[in-house]
């Protein structure tokens, strides 16, 4: 199995329903990844160990998903020099606005590149991670070009009822 280049982490198994779209997109592009559930609130020691070791394990990009008081991405970003992409999960009470704001409003100095709430963000974070890797990987670049071409064809050929 190829060494993982992307680490997908999420605050709860309840985030997987949405985040499987991120994993599927990376699968489509042939980008190797690892995926883990961990929480800055519920498993702080695990997050510290995992994020501190991510760079040395060969990961290049981290995608962190969380909902509500979504601190996971920010805490991971504080623990690693790797780029961290945040995907806010839709929350039951505030529809994900809480997740979005707690992820995007990072203090200066520790960036989290924050994507749209829910599935569009999950897919786009995977595409963005792949685009970052494509800067130095011709195979991933071709896979991204093919993805775009297929997407354009689908839209151009769409039939309305």
Burial environment of residue 154 by CB neighbours within 10 A (0 to 12, 13 to 18, 19 or more): exposed
Distance of CA 61 to the CA centre of its chain: 8
Where do contacts with ligand C2R occur on this chain (CB under 6 A)? 10-12, 14-15, 39-42, 66-72, 89
Note whether 103 and 31 are within 8 A (CB).
Answer: no
Q: How far is the CB of 149 from ligand C2R (least distance, A)?
A: 34
Decide whether 103 or 133 has the Cβ nearer to ligand C2R.
103
Minimum distance from residue 100 beta carbon to ligand C2R (Å): 12
Q: Binding site annotation covers 15?
A: yes
Rounded to whole angstroms, how far apart are CA atoms 30 and 98? Answer: 33
Shortest distance, position 72 Cβ to ligand C2R, whole Å: 4
Nearer to ligand C2R, 18 or 129 (CB): 18
Q: Determine whether the annotation assigns residue 12 to a binding site.
A: yes
Residue (68 or 121) nearer to ligand C2R, CB: 68
Cα 49 to chain centroid distance, Å, stands at 19
- Burial (CB count within 10 angstroms: exposed 0-12, middle 13-18, buried 19+), residue 43: middle
**Annotated binding residues for substrate:** 12, 15, 42
């Amino acid at each position: 199995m190829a060494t993982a280049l992307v680490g997908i982490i999420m605050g709860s198994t309840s985030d997987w329903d949405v985040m499987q779209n991120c994993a599927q997109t990376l699968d489509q592009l042939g980008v190797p990844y690892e995926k883990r559930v961990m929480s800055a609130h519920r498993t702080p020691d695990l997050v510290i160990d995992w994020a501190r070791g991510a760079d040395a394990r060969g990961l290049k990009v981290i995608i962190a998903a969380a909902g509500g008081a979504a601190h996971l991405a920010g805490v991971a970003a504080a623990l690693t020099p790797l780029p961290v992409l945040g995907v806010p999960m839709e929350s039951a009470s505030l529809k994900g606005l809480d997740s979005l704001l707690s992820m995007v409003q990072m203090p200066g100095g520790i960036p989290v590149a924050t994507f749209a709430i829910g599935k569009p963000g999950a897919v786009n974070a995977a595409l963005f991670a792949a685009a970052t890797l494509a800067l130095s990987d011709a195979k991933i670049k071709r896979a991204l070009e093919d993805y775009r071409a297929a997407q354009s064809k689908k839209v151009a050929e769409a039939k309305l009822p």
